[in-house]
Every structure is written in C-alpha cells, then in structure tokens.
Amino acid sequence: MDIKITADQHIANTYARFPLALVKGQGCTVWDDQGKSYVDFVAGIAVCNLGHAHPALVETISAQAKTLWHVSNLYYTQPQTELAAWLTEHSFADRVFFGNSGAEANEAAIKLARKYFKDNGTPERFRIVSMKQSFHGRTMATLSATGQEKVRKGYDPILEGFDFVPFNDIEDLSCAIGPATCAVMLEPVQGEGGIVVPGKEYLAQVRRLCDEAGCLLIFDEVQTGIGRTGKLFAYEHFGIAPDILTSAKALGNGLPIGAMLATQKVAASFVPGAHASTFGGTPLVTAVALKTLKILTEEGILDQVEEKGSYLRQQLEKLKSKHPIIQEVRGLGLLVGARLNTAGAPIVKECMARGYLINCVQDNILRFIPPLIISKEEIDGMIQCLDEVIKKEQSSDR
C-alpha cells in the first residue's frame, strides 16, 4: 500500500498534508517510511512535550493497558482522581472537567460560563468577548469564539453571543464589555494567531476589567499550558489567575485529553447531568497525563524551558540580523515565532527536505514548538539549516 495515495483516496480532504508519511518517533526525532530522519520542531503541534516514545510513558501506558482502559464516568477511577488532584494542587483551580480535546475543553468553559450566570439570577449575561486572531477550536461553539474568518467561513449561522476585540488592546476590551457579558476568553499568548505575546501589563488589566464588570475570565491554555512557555501554565508569568482555564494538547503528551479547570465558586454550576463525556478522563489517558506532568515538573524539564527558549530566540535574532527576510522574533519559553516579509511555506518545505520539521502559521510566521526536551545541539542544527535555506531562497529570488 502506498500510504499517501491510499490516504488521499479515503480520508476526508481537510488537511493540506506534506508528502511525508511518518512511521516512528524517538525523543525529538521522527522517521518517514523511507527511513529518513527528521528533527521535530513541530511536536504534533505543541503536543509531544516529552518527545516521542518516552520510555517512562511507554511503561505507564503498557501497565495501565494491562489493568484498565476504560469505564464509564458512572464510576470512580484512581488515575482520573489523581490527575484532578494534581492539577488542582498545582494551579488556581479547585475542580476539573475532563474531555478529549482542546475544543471540548473550551466547549465546557463556554457552557459553564453561561450556566454560572443563569444559576445566579442574571440569565441576560451570556455574551463572551473574545479576541481577533484567536483560535479556540473547530466545533460550532468554539469556531464561533474564534476570531479568524477562515475558521468560520461556510458554517453560518454561527452561535450567537460572541464579540471580538483586538488582542493586547485594553481600551477596546473595556468598551466591549457590557451588561450582557458573562466572560472574556483569550489565549495568554496567541498561538495559531501568530505567536503574539501581549504587553507585560495587559493580562492583569484584563483581570481588573473582568472583576469590575463582574464577569468571568477564561484562559485558553490549550497551546500555552503544560510547560510550553516555561511555567506549568502561562498565566503564572503575569501575576494573576483566571476563573476558568482550558488545557489539552501536551497534557497527555500525545494521548487525546482535554481538561477544563475552574474555581469552586464557578464550577458549582456543573451539577450531575449538566455536562458529560463518554471518554472524558479515561484511566488509560489520565494515567499517562499524570505521569507526563510528574516527569515534566520533577525531572528538571520545566526548569530548563525558559533558558532553552531564550537560547532559541537569541539564535533566531542572529539570523534576523543576517537576513532581512526575518522581520521579528517573538515568543515565550519554547513557543517561538519568526515573522517573515514573505511566505513561509517554501522555507518549511526546504527545511523538511533537509531533515528539520518546522511549521508556519498565518502564511508568514514560522513557528517553533519543539519537544521541551530539545537539546542545544538540536537547536543549533535547526538554526544552521534555516540559515542555509534562507540563503538559498534569497539567491534564487534574485
């Protein structure tokens, strides 16, 4: 079977895939079906933070697979309980709801925000202020919350009740919050929107506006969470906390899991029957997620993210001073972007041919989201590759 041809015949055509079939991964390296290796600066889109086939996770999933994969949420299980306890111990939150993806975590957050005000005597508060260029998922509610036309196009009528303001602009947000607003929802650092880091004071100002207006603050940390920015959750950089936070992507290091975290006060509206998910928090997945979090925080990996991230940004800055095609380098921890004055796709393609997987968002922003266990040598190798690729691209342009 030719994987590419058969896939293109039988799988819904929603992904513009590279002509590359991956068969194996180990650490920060993946291999294709021809045996060629690639250093992986995509990591399943900020998912495999501990790399591929981490031995301790292989052991955890194997042991749990022999014990118990799945039972209904009609019953208690130990792995789900331990994971929820760990998450609440290590965050602002008191309660966790488990789903299977980032979109589902955000669905839960949107539902909870609305229900909280219904339960508390202000049913007219149902609107959510969200950000332009944001990304919150592909379900009807989460695409309605997403501030990018390309995600919403073709799906009218979208869900009512979402207002959009520019990210990192406190004046516009202040005007948009009204008596019908139940929550402000945003990514602490915009991911799909192009690795946009807000000004130092912005998130604290957002928190203050929410408090003054009596509405909730929801942080979508699906991409920024689980160590990606150098803290367990990105909100920790900013000296404030949300009322609701969503996590997914790296939480299971590649197993599908999403989680919505909330304070007791808000989570009180999620009573029996208010929300549910068949697969949410299954023992197999939560056992791996718990182990992922323990390895991340107890083996010094989280502590090194800031340093590795600033090293990567420094090296990119050096490339920027050599190549005017790079206009800006930005990011937090190992969530890093390089904005180009040209399309990123040819560069991504050429890096791939040379054994480095990188990614491009918003057409012209190269995104670097390697496993957090990436080494300095692997960063150096990618930078050298990028240097050569940009040189070649520019000489062929002339």
Ligand X SMILES: *Cc1c(COP(=O)(O)O)cnc(C)c1O
**Active site residue ranges:** 135, 220, 249
Half-sphere exposure of 369 (CA within 13 A, CB side): 28
101 binds ligand X (CB under 6 A): yes
137 binds ligand X (CB under 6 A): yes
Report, in Å, the least distance between residue 45 CB and ligand X.
6
Check if the beta carbon of residue 361 is closer than 8 Å to that of residue 337.
yes
Q: Which stretch binds ligand X (CB under 6 A): 13-21, 68-76, 170-178, 219-227?
A: 219-227
Report, in Å, the least distance between residue 369 CB and ligand X.
10
222 binds ligand X (CB under 6 A): yes
Identify the residue among 29, 60, 181, 223 touching ligand X (CB under 6 A). Answer: 223
147 binds ligand X (CB under 6 A): no
334 binds ligand X (CB under 6 A): no
107 binds ligand X (CB under 6 A): no
User: Interaction with ligand X in 153-212: which residues (CB under 6 A)?
Assistant: 187, 191-192
* 291, burial (CB in 10 Å: exposed 0-12, middle 13-18, buried 19+): buried
Instruction: Let me know how many helices (H) and strands (E) the chain has, helices first.
Output: 14, 15
Check if the beta carbon of residue 91 is closer than 8 Å to that of residue 264.
no
β-pairing, 37-40 vs 127-131, is unpaired
Alpha-carbon distances, residue 211 vs 96, 101, 165, 208 (angstroms): 22, 29, 18, 5
DSSP assignment string, 318-382:
HHHHH-TTEEEEEEETTEEEEEESS-SHHHHHHHHHTTEE-EEETTTEEEE---TT--HHHHHHH
| Residue with smaller CB distance to ligand X, 284 or 383 | 284
Q: Which stretch binds ligand X (CB under 6 A): 78-86, 101-109, 283-291, 298-306?
A: 101-109
Nearest-CA neighbor of 50 among 281, 250, 316? 250
Nearest-CA neighbor of 367 among 388, 387, 347, 395? 347
Identify the residue among 38, 98, 126, 135 touching ligand X (CB under 6 A). Answer: 135
Report, in Å, the least distance between residue 138 CB and ligand X.
6
Q: Which stretch binds ligand X (CB under 6 A): 134-142, 211-219, 312-320, 362-370?
A: 134-142
130-157 residues labelled b (16+ CB within 10 A) or e (exposed): bbbbbbbbebebbbbbbbbeebbeeeee
Identify the residue among 54, 99, 143, 220 touching ligand X (CB under 6 A). Answer: 220
Nearest-CA neighbor of 228 among 184, 195, 194? 195
Report, in Å, the least distance between residue 128 CB and ligand X.
14
Report, in Å, the least distance between residue 323 CB and ligand X.
28
DSSP assignment string, 302-314:
HHHHHHHHHHHHH
Report, in Å, the least distance between residue 133 CB and ligand X.
11
248 binds ligand X (CB under 6 A): yes
Q: Which stretch binds ligand X (CB under 6 A): 95-103, 208-216, 274-282, 365-373?
A: 95-103
| Residue with smaller CB distance to ligand X, 103 or 285 | 103
Identify the residue among 103, 128, 173, 357 touching ligand X (CB under 6 A). Answer: 103
Catalog residues that contact ligand X under the rule CB under 6 A.
Answer: 101-103, 106, 135-137, 187, 191-192, 220, 222-223, 248-249
